[in-house]
Amino acid sequence: MAYADTQARKREEGIRATAHPSLRVCGARFDLMPEGAAWLAAERLLVVADLHFEKGSAFAERGIALPPYDTRATIARLEALVARLKPDTLVALGDSFHDMTAAERMSPEDGARLARLSRSLDWIWIAGNHDPVPPRAFGGAVMEELRVGPLTFRHEPRAAPATGEIAGHLHPCAAVRVRGRRLRRRCFASDGTRMIMPAFGAYAGGLNVLDTAYDDLLPGFDFHAWMMGARTVIPVSARRLEAD
């Protein structure tokens, strides 16, 4: 695993050395992390969405034996973020577990690692459609919604206006052409009144923000996609984006 360690260290160094762009939702300032997490420094609160633990094994159940390392890849990125930012609270915005039996399929090693992490701070599992009842084995509180000042954290975004809503569910990604080359990345999508978070899980796919599913959420082109680069997050105006 020496290779993986070196890569992770290089990446970590790169991330530390970079100032993170921020966006404001109803005045609350979030720093956006290239791993796909948002950091509400004022509350020392870290938000991630759609972890989809054990998506790999869900496929394995159907005869497609994807590498069983998605859970630990996802946990490792969470651990690195927690170590770097030292949050008081972590909010997982639903669909943290790919399905209702995900916890049973998780390797004991990964399970112990997740429990250790979730018990090291205030951990809030927001219920999602994949995990309406998140497993209790890993500690933390389960909530349908969480309110913090002007902000509401929930899994599934609601039609506009939804002032101050921080949600996941849709796995937003955006595509843009730079000098003709097409780049497609996961992204944060925000118009200043709400934010839709990118999926954090290692095997989670993406749905383009220009898809009709976003029509009632981010109407028109008055929003930005904060696309995830290797070391930083890059805001791109919706007008510049491409559909899939």
Residue ranges binding other proteins (CB under 8 A) = 1, 3-4, 7, 57, 60-70, 72-73, 105, 107, 177, 179-182, 184, 202-203, 205, 242-244
Rg of the chain (C-alpha set) = 17
For residue 177, the minimal CB distance to other proteins (Å) is 5
Two tokens, residue 98: 């790919």
For residue 30, the minimal CB distance to other proteins (Å) is 25
Is 88 or 104 the residue whose CB approaches other proteins more closely?
104
Is 32 or 199 the residue whose CB approaches other proteins more closely?
199
d(C-alpha 44, C-alpha 191), whole Å: 23
User: How long a stretch of residues is the chain?
Assistant: 244
For residue 205, the minimal CB distance to other proteins (Å) is 6
d(C-alpha 126, C-alpha 168), whole Å: 10
Phi, psi of 10, rounded to the nearest 5 degrees: -60, -45
> CA angle at residue 218 from 43 to 45, to 5 degrees?
10
Is 67 or 150 the residue whose CB approaches other proteins more closely?
67
For residue 200, the minimal CB distance to other proteins (Å) is 13
> CA angle at residue 196 from 173 to 174, to 5 degrees?
15
Is 73 or 85 the residue whose CB approaches other proteins more closely?
73
Is 72 or 224 the residue whose CB approaches other proteins more closely?
72
For residue 59, the minimal CB distance to other proteins (Å) is 9
For residue 60, the minimal CB distance to other proteins (Å) is 4
**Omega before residue 161 within 30° of 0, cis:** yes
Q: How many CB atoms lie within 10 A of CB 205?
A: 11
Instruction: Using alpha carbons, list the distances in angstroms from residue 211 to 206, 234, 235.
Output: 11, 20, 18
Phi, psi of 55, rounded to the nearest 5 degrees: -65, -40
Is 107 or 193 the residue whose CB approaches other proteins more closely?
107
Q: How many CB atoms lie within 10 A of CB 98?
A: 25
